[in-house]
Amino acid sequence: MTRRRLQPTVTINLVPLIDVLLLIIIFFMVTTTFKLAPGIALELPSSTTAANVKSSVLRIIAVSESEIYVDKTRVDLQGLPALIKQRAGSGDQEGLKATVEGDRAASYQLMISVLDALRRGGIDAVGLRTRVDQGTP
């Protein structure tokens, strides 16, 4: 007579593992933030009188003469006036506004050139975006 040994059946319960993975996925979905800008890291200059602009049609981000964004469309300084005229022609000329953002290290001439291109495009209502300086009273 041969002796038979009982083998215990080993199973892995995957339900707790799936529960933990779903909780981790939900945690990362809730805590993740998304950038609204087209991936440009700007350090805005500070201003003690800065205020939020309620409505603006064109958002212009000036990084350098070869890298200017108009509502997520990349253009250089030479192509900026044509793009502004194109955007201004498609909207209401009377209430057209623009917000200009520039890096703190951007040249003064670059900002003046952007403002000139906006004026040539028929946009006179221009706001310069800054960040509020918390240290100065």
Q: Is 101 part of any domain?
A: yes
pLDDT for 41 beyond 80: no
Q: Please tell me the chain's helix, strand, coil percentages from 3-state DSSP, rounded to the nearest 5.
A: 30, 20, 50
Q: What token pair was written down for 34?
A: 């998304």
Confidence bin at 19 (pLDDT 50/70/90): very high
> How many domains in the chain?
1
What is residue 37's predicted lDDT score, i.e. its pLDDT? 55
Q: Is 74 part of any domain?
A: yes
Specify the residue for token string 């890291």. 41
Q: Is 9 part of any domain?
A: no
CB within 8 Å of 62: residues ≥ 6 apart: 68, 100, 101, 102, 103, 106, 110, 111, 114
Contact 128, 83 (CB under 8 A): no
Q: Is 22 part of any domain?
A: no
Q: What is the pLDDT of residues 78-129, one digit of tens each?
A: 988 888 888 777 655 566 788 899 888 888 899 999 999 888 888 888 888 8
> Which CATH number characterizes residue 74's domain?
3.30.420.270
